[in-house]
Amino acid sequence: MKYTLASFASGLIFGIGLLVSGMSNPEKVLGFLDIAGLWDPSLAFVMGGAIVVGLFAFAFARRRTLSFLGYHMKLPAGDRVDKRLVIGSLLFGAGWGLAGFCPGPGLVALGAGEAKAAVFVISMIAGMAVFELLEKARARA
């Protein structure tokens, strides 16, 4: 129960942060990506803040074996850049640039009732399903 409550609280804080920073607004994101037009640098400040917080949080987490809730720490261990990672990153970036959403802000905007976000989330789920089908076919081959 405490894990579920902590997960809910973390997601709620993240969602509120996205709303307050304006990152659930696709126009704000597209404004950041429009470096040849009316560039909006605010997303760079949000990303910079997240990177600083993440650096300290991961440095602290690496020194621990258990989380604050008593669970084993499961930190990312991979450091290999391969073709699948590059292609996935390119697809993610293209989708982000076309829609102005990435998964977190897309879900927040969907919760706020934005129709464009519904199209994005449905497309995102469809993409995940296609990936899973391809992975299963790849594993069988």
Neighbours of 13 (CB within 10 A): 10
Spans in the chain with pLDDT lower than 70: none
Query: Can you give the pLDDT at residue 118?
Result: 93
Query: Can you give the pLDDT at residue 56?
Result: 95
**What residue segments make up the domains of the chain, in order of their start?**
2-140
Under DSSP, the state recorded for 36 is T
Query: Can you give the pLDDT at residue 59?
Result: 92
What is each CA distance from 71 to 3, 57, 77, 79, 111, in whole angstroms?
9, 16, 17, 24, 30
Query: Can you give the pLDDT at residue 29?
Result: 84
Query: Can you give the pLDDT at residue 90?
Result: 93
What is each CA distance from 99 to 76, 105, 109, in whole angstroms?
28, 11, 12
* Separation CA 124–CA 134 (nearest Å): 15
